[in-house]
Amino acid sequence: MNSFSDLLMNTLVLATRVRMPFIGCLTMVLVLTSYAGFSQNRAVTSPRSETGAPVETRPTMAKDQRPAFPGQTRIGSIKSTTTFTVTTVASGLVQPWGLVFLPDGRMLVTEKRGTMRIVTQQGVVGKEIAGVPAVRAEGDGGLYDVKLDPDFATTRQVFWCYVEPVAGGSVTSVARARLSTDETKLENVQVIYRASPVYSGPNHNGSRMLFDAQGRLYVTFGERFDDEIRKKAQALDSSLGKIIRINKDGTAAADNPYRTTANGNPKALPEIWSMGHRNPQGLAFHPQTGDLWESEHGPNAGDELNIIRPGADYGWPFIAYGIEYSGEPVNGGKTMQEGMEQPVYYWDPSIAPSGIMFYTGTMFPEWKNNLFVAALRGMHLDRLVIENNRVVGEEQLLVDQKQRMRYVTQAADGSIYLITDDAQGRILRISR
């Protein structure tokens, strides 16, 4: 975009040519002046007077950064009027990471160390399921998300992502297998996708998965954290720092943005859906718009909530809210760049968002279509009210639990289930 002065001059010239009345021209000037304030990172406040003070009261860590538009961070607080209860369904799980409901309501749960178990609705934790391939459980790596084939009733196929040890280090891989009829083992295990390149570092592997209505699988990958490798988030010949979209056999979906070389980049991986991500751990489809929403960990602050568009670049590590762990700015402190997307919302200080979910049940009508975010560092469940793709209210729930929240999902009856990231991890249920 040209400078604001150029934009203003062009607007005035256009207004003159179309003989816009003076008051209309003045209105356009005022609007553009407000826009300039946002683009120059001036302080902004929430436009919604019906909300309370923001839930975040701590000082920002990135002192010189300002949001790009009103409500992009520290939106006004809201408070649920619905009463609910929180019960512990199961305990004693070792750093549980993923949870998916089986058709009968039982839960298939992954543990980061490399184990998979079935947990009953009454909280009975089953034995380890045999057949899980070797997992590199170092740093923040391990066994991650798990999903059922949309056709599970006939195929009994289970999909999961994990850090696979390989020569030279590790890769984040996606595997599938048949859950045996007696539910004791995984049969015919196949690795259908491996992120690239191989790297030795143990951190920022990702990874969350999500099937769409057509049975295509979205998978998130971190950029592997270290300075020398994280730049791969901007490289189209690598799946690091990307969201990919693949078929059930691991091949690229036919209409992906880089499926052909028509974009002029023959080295681009055809499975890439979006790029420029840091460490994305949440995916959910908006129930009304169908848009894909994503949460990702920022550096030291600057966690992001994004709407994912095919082929879009979300900026890391060229632009970011937040600062490096050293205290230095990221890439000179840039938060905007032409051709790169802005987050719908960001958190400073960090809450470390992991799993996300749009609520679609009937048990809590007040929460219909609200977005729930499991917060690790924040140790709460974040509730966000969304209107027209903008966050308009925020509430912190389950703060009294004092637990790192790893994942949130909805049961068939409309209750909400969470898993906590702990050596004595629990499954929690929110109900009426």
Residue whose entry in the numeric block shows the structure tokens 């027209």: 388
Q: Of these residues, 204, 277, 297, 380, which one is catalytic?
A: 204
Instruction: Report the DSSP pairing between strands 206-211 and 405-410.
Output: unpaired
Cα atoms in the Cβ-side hemisphere of radius 13 Å centred on 350 = 21
* Alpha carbon distances (Å) from 6 to 9, 32, 82, 172, 336: 5, 11, 51, 47, 19
Edge-first strand order for the sheet with 115-119 is: 96-101, 107-111, 115-119
Edge-first strand order for the sheet with 272-274 is: 206-211, 217-221, 243-246, 272-274
Cis bond leading into 287, ω under 30°? no
Residues 193, 407: Cα–Cα separation, whole Å:
23
Give the closest residue to 344 by CA, choosing from 399, 282, 398, 406. Answer: 282
Give the closest residue to 157 by CA, choosing from 251, 284, 249, 246. Answer: 249
- Write 14-20 long-range contacts (CB < 8 A, 24+): none
Compute how many other C-beta atoms are within 10 angstroms of the C-beta atom of residue 249.
10
Angle at 281 between CA 197 and CA 152, to 5 degrees: 90
**H/E stretch holding 136:** none
Tell me how far apart the 2 most distant CA atoms of the chain are, in Å: 78
Directed axis angle between helix 4-17 and helix 22-39, to 10°?
A: 160
Residues 407, 422: Cα–Cα separation, whole Å:
12
How far from chain centre, in Å, is Cα 161? Answer: 15
Cα atoms in the Cβ-side hemisphere of radius 13 Å centred on 52 = 10
Active-site annotation holds for 204? yes
The catalytic residues are 204
